[in-house]
Structure 1
Amino acid sequence: MDSAGTLYIADFGNNRVRQVTSDGKISTVAGAGTGGSDGDDGPAASAQLNKPIGLAVDRANTLYIADHANHRVRKVGLAKRAGLPASGTVVSWANVRSRLRMAVQRESTKDGAEIHQTLATPRGHQRWRLVVAGQVDGENLYTIENLRSGKVLEIVGAHETAGAVVAQRAYEGDDAHHQQWRLIPVSSATDTPQVYEIANRNSGLLLRVDTNARTAIQQHRAEGDHRDRQWHLLPV
């Protein structure tokens, strides 16, 4: 069962996985009904399964299928998450306007160290791991973990105040909403690199820089130059 209360059923004999939503409606999630192994990277309902026997759902509501006769585990993600990075992806964030990268100040490992934008060239303190922390309304929530310090982004002080500073602190558990972020795609799925806005779950405000220079990163509403609040996702 997923976080929305949807029950998944491995329909072994019919080579399908079915779902029953919280309002009692049943439908097919995966499997075309004929045994086989075709269909990877396509629509799940058109793919072939062969005696699915076990299911699991992670906290991002990704469905895993033990495809018994094919000796495989198959994965089904939600369409609403198309274009979002997978959990564990390591990236570098560069502001669209300045081209400078989001970084831990002076490579600090201390709790509360402010996040700045610094050099345009990739360094260890500019690398971040995106980890799915849950899901709300079909959208992934991420923690954004600095690879150098091992600490995650959060809002310091007044969580709903525009201009509040972004810093790094130790994990505080699954319910630390101020450490969870929505990635909002603002570019075409074919664009390279991808461009996102980054919104804090607790406040709903966006990460932004106030100038085109090296400066602290804060959270603001959708105001001013849109480039100040948009970020290139650069694989590293």
Structure 2
Amino acid sequence: MEAFKLQTHTETFFRSLTVENMSLYYPEQGFVFKDLSFDFPLHEVVVFQGPRNSGKSSLLKILSGLSQPTSGTYKVNNQVISELTFDEFLPYRLRMGYGFDFGGLISNLTVYQNLILPLQYHKVKSMDHHDQVMKYINLFGLESVMNERPAGISGGMRKEVCVARAFIMEPELVFLDDPTTGMSSENKRAFLNILEDRLRNGHLKHIFLSTEDPIMIENFATKIMRVYNGEIKIVT
């Protein structure tokens, strides 16, 4: 697989992602970030690296709007996310995908139902819901477990469902936390092919992820950032 440049000429909804004087504090851990200000680059595949508990996962959740910092602000397109109502944030949410370990799967729904839920909830009309779900079920080889609930499948398959769901609405911005850990080698290849296809055709425009996977880093990373000791530094 050859490394490639992203399609930077395509139009994008997202113009800026910025944290200003952001602090994140956990009672059991102390400050993960303190008064951090940073403009995150777009039209890049940004890989966050750092030791365990350095804040990579927390940062991804803040950038995706799933959690809020203890203090300071996070802005998307110069809009303070914490000040937006659900309806005001919806245009952003509809263009984002995110996959965080095994979190977010609804335990009493099947794999198929978990994947189709975002399409139904947001009443997406631009695609056939069943066909879209089956496309990703087939890509990840989940046909045999599509009618199983999350507790009834392996941890690796749950990870694959989470990653598939991140792409189910064909977002232009994706956040992924250690996406390939636990994947079978076959499904890892399928995932990398999905990334390559979406990036090359310009539909997927921005990716932020944490990973130590050398194949992902070598073939996809356009920026590597070190998250350590409450700071973010661009490595390459």
Q: Same fold (TM over 0.5)?
A: no
Looking at CA atoms only, which structure, 1 or 2, has the larger radius of gyration? 1
TM-score by length of 2: 0.26
Is the helix fraction higher in 1 or 2? 2
Identify the structure with bigger relative contact order (alpha carbons < 8 Å, sequence gap 6+).
2
Is the strand fraction higher in 1 or 2? 1
